[in-house]
Structure 1
Amino acid sequence: MARSVAFYLPCFDEQPKILAPEPSPLAIEFDEPEPAIDLPEPEPEDIRPVLTDELREQLLEEGRAAARAECDEMIARERAAVAQRLEEERRRWSREEGERLGREFRDSLGRYSARIGEDVERILEPFVVREIREKMLVALMDTLRILIADRENPVIHLSGPVDLLEAVCAKLNGEDIATKIEDVGGVDVRARLDATTIETRLGEWMAQLREGDDAA
């Protein structure tokens, strides 16, 4: 087959083909990375509220109120504890004092009965009773003064024969003590202050005296 002359001439319009180079077998080295620089952490932002004079006064008032409430509660507990201890001590003292007075009266009766005879006893009985009654009134007054020592405006309820009630009121005259009296007769005076009751026991003493006379 016949070809034209142009087929055998080189074409200058085409771009020459450049072959890519073969990969190099040599390793490529990279520089070491620079060490990281520690940057200072940013300071936290202060988000506290601004303590104004009004806020300060509010906080102080709340603190004072809490302190007052705690103090009042503590005082109430202490008062209740003291009142309970005081009541227990009063009851114990009243019981022991009554027993002591009873022993003294019985001892006094025994001593008088041993020293005097039957006839002399009948003659002296009014005088002995009067003396014992006076001692009982003195002991009663001493006991009442102890009971009202820590009381404000105490009110004592008295019951018994009118002559002994008048004697007790006369001894209380001049002291800041209110009395309520009730004439119930008999020979003993009974004094009541709140839950505490004290009695002279003169009738019991006189009954024992008569029993001793009958036995003789």
Structure 2
Amino acid sequence: MLETKQSQKYLLGLERLAQQGKYRVGLQTVEKYLKQHPAMDEFLLKHAFFLYHHAADLKYSRNAKKERTRTLKIINYFNQAIRVCRELIKRKKFLPQRIYLNARIYLAQIYAMLGKSRKAKTFVRATYNYLPISLTAERAADVYRRLNDLDGALRWHQRAVKKAKKADEKAIAHAGLAMLYRHMGKVEKAIEEVRIAIYFFKRVKHPKLLNPKLLIKILRSHIPELKKTTLLV
């Protein structure tokens, strides 16, 4: 029981670090825990998450002093994340569905970051076909957007909206569509989708599960025009 409580404490801490974008610290933390508990699937999944997010941070950082060293680190982190995801996917029969799906989604996102368009799209489509729900459609949209296939991303976001059933799913789906519309320069459509997202957000039975502060922060960062409205007040 003590180990379970300690694990949950670590997982909550890692979740906070992920929300704060502290990927390097998250990576150090999860690797420290894995030295003591190397076979815990939940932490292996978190390891993959922080590996590829930290790699992405390094990849897009403008303050790199030693380009060659940085490039080698990026490749190493991405390759490690790929290995972890593949190992988890191989053990499908023994994993909770959530861990299996996230491992597949992470791998598709990594392929997209590496510019492997065909692999990324094929993998994420297969993942959606395995479980055709709003969440997997949202993740597919993210992969297509990373590949700069905005029309494809739009189709996936629209599918996510159609597949969403619960209020929280609808809120997230419309928020995702809003951010894409803004990225495409369609500000009015983006604002309208935010209105719809807020409508459903107010009807969520357990709003704490959505982390409203984080959602508002993300929407404001992606749609600066919202600062001129009272939608997120």
**What TM-score, normalized by structure 2, do the two folds share?**
0.22
Greater Rg over alpha carbons, structure: 1
For CA contacts below 8 A with separation 6 or more, give which structure has more relative contact order: 1
The structure where helix makes up a greater share of residues is: 2
Structure with the higher fraction of residues in strand conformation:
1
TM-score by length of 1: 0.23
